[in-house]
Chains A and B, each alone.
Chain A
Amino acid sequence: MEQTSWIVAGLSAGLFEGSVMPVKTPGKDLAVWRQRSGQANAVEDRCPHRGMRFSMGFVRGDQLACRYHGWEFDGAGVCKNIPAHPTLQPPKTICAKTFVCQEVNGFIVVNVGDDGAAMPAEYSELEGENMVPVRSVYLDASISTVRDWLMQAVFPTFAAGQDGTGTPVTYIYGNLNDNLVRISAQVGATTEELILALQALDDDRTGVHVQVSDMGSKEEMPAVQRHVARWLADLRLRLESNDQSQINKLKISA
């Protein structure tokens, strides 16, 4: 697996039209925001004027405004409005640093490097899969620790929980790349699948953005999402407990 400068910054469903959120990465803070017209963008979390965090700003139409002086920037980071000089066309030199930001089947994917590298295939290959978002959780553990645990984690399937018959479950784990884990659980003829995108915030903290395979009816899926969300909450509490016996209960080998 190659090191990549592409990260998953969150779930598309977690970023509403006209909102901005802070995204932490090791060594770089980003503000990820969505224009009213729907386009998601990523920018360095720092207004070029006086260094104010953009993530505390606000979205007006298709422009991101800084909280401090109201300077407005478009999706490409170009300054479009300086309220102190309403009639002035802002000089083209006033730009915020932006990062390539794409949405792939419910994930917000950002290239945090300056390398201009194309998006790794593992992300684009997710396109077309039938997934629904669950939620993002943030864990007090390094990304490698979280990855190691997820690669052997027991995911109590929704189907098994439903019929209560104790049907044997077969787990298949896939490390699509450093940041993407797929867990497939086969229960009889059905397969339940989780895609978990791991995002290092710093050395000790990791965000996990989770989607689940869309396997049920429209009526059933909210219950499936809640089921997975409960497992994530449990996973988080056990991992953060630093209690080995608690952590072992997550493992398939335990």
Chain B
Amino acid sequence: MAKTTDAFALNEWLVIGRLEDATHDKPRVTRLLGQDIRAERTADGAIGVWETDLAGNKGRALPVQERYGHIFVTLGDTPRDLLEMPEFEEEGRRLVTIGYVRVKTSPLRVVENFLDLGHFPYVHTNYLGAEPQTEVANYKAEIREDVDEVWATDCSFFQQKAAKSATDGQQSEYEYRVTSPFITVLYKTCPIKPGAWDLVGLFVQPLDEDLCEAHSFVLPFDEENTDVELRHFQQTIFLQDRPILENQLPALLPLTPGTEMPARADATSMTYRRWLKKKNITFGVQKDAASTNSRAA
């Protein structure tokens, strides 16, 4: 597809890879919102990102931020601010980037799945949940107008293996924060440090409306496990989600009421969808309500 005309999506800061994914020798050649791009480390040490044409020739240079272990760019002229995560300054935390999983579906479906508690016993069996403890207790989901973010608080779920560092099951407390249609972080009970919250972040790179790469990171209190072990745990979880995400019909997220039927446990998803609607976002959203039984591009 060609570059989107969705003004909201164009004016987001969006991830395109980890800092180490673009080097002198090996650029990261990828796509964003339908636009081919190329990222490489330039002679002065900074990362440069350019739009490219079909032949791979560089065109317009894009604004770049190197933050949170990742490269962010925007295709718009008046971008909304990238999220602030003060937890990155906290003593004792450690950043481990996970890399990405490519998923053939709408980036919005991937974000929504990340906000979902009810699928834990079925998709992440014996990691993030298991039958018969399937209940999603009431929690609070809201749009925080002052910061223009979606939050879900007072969430909790019983988990067999909540994180790589967990040795026993635990009742995990969760909070979710959605700062962009394509960016969300969750805070969850740290299995080894009482009172502390571990962070798991999801940056979704929208390549096309129905194709994305889900980049993620963890920022836990964990001195026991190696980076590779933490990475493997998160990749295991993400790869459990992928076959689900690639088999939802339609691939694009339906925002028309009645197309999909939520329950109370879906309060975060409903709030997220309401927020998307208010923003008039069309990228990754189902256009034609009649085409629900199709994954045709």
Contacts and interface: CB of A to CB of B under 8 A. Distances in A.
Nearest to A50: B260
A49 interface: yes
Contacts of A68: 119, 122-123, 244, 248
Nearest to B269: A50
B16 to A, nearest CB: 28
Interface string B116-137: 0111011100000001101110
B119 A51 contact: no
B249 A48 contact: no
B244 A67 contact: yes
A84 B118 contact: yes
A85 B247 contact: no
Given A56-B247, A68-B244, A49 B122 contact: no
Interface string B246-265: 01111000100000111111
B135 A70 contact: no
Contacts of B117: 84
B117 to A, nearest CB: 8
Interface magnitude class on chain A: 20 to 34
B243 interface: yes
A168 interface: no
Nearest to B265: A84
Given A52-B244, A68-B119, A84-B134, A45 B263 contact: no
B293 A69 contact: no
Contacts of B249: 29, 45-46, 51-53
A162 to B, nearest CB: 47
Interface in A143-183: none
B65 interface: no
Nearest to B254: A51
Contacts of A28: 293
Contacts of A119: none
* Residue of A48, A50, A56 with most partner-chain B CB within 10 A: A50
A250 to B, nearest CB: 34
Contacts of A45: 249, 293
A178 B114 CA distance: 47
Interface string A51-75: 1110010000000000111100000
A37 to B, nearest CB: 22
A85 B136 contact: yes
Contacts of A53: 247-249
A29 B293 contact: yes
Interface of B: 117-119, 121-123, 131-132, 134-136, 243-244, 247-250, 254, 260-265, 292-293
20 contacts: A27-B293, A28-B293, A29-B293, A46-B292, A49-B261, A49-B263, A50-B248, A51-B248, A51-B254, A53-B248, A67-B123, A67-B244, A68-B248, A70-B134, A83-B121, A83-B135, A84-B265, A85-B264, A85-B265, A86-B135
Given A68-B119, A83-B118, 16 more contacts: A27-B293, A44-B293, A45-B249, A50-B248, A51-B292, A53-B247, A53-B248, A53-B249, A68-B122, A68-B248, A69-B122, A70-B131, A70-B134, A84-B264, A85-B263, A93-B261
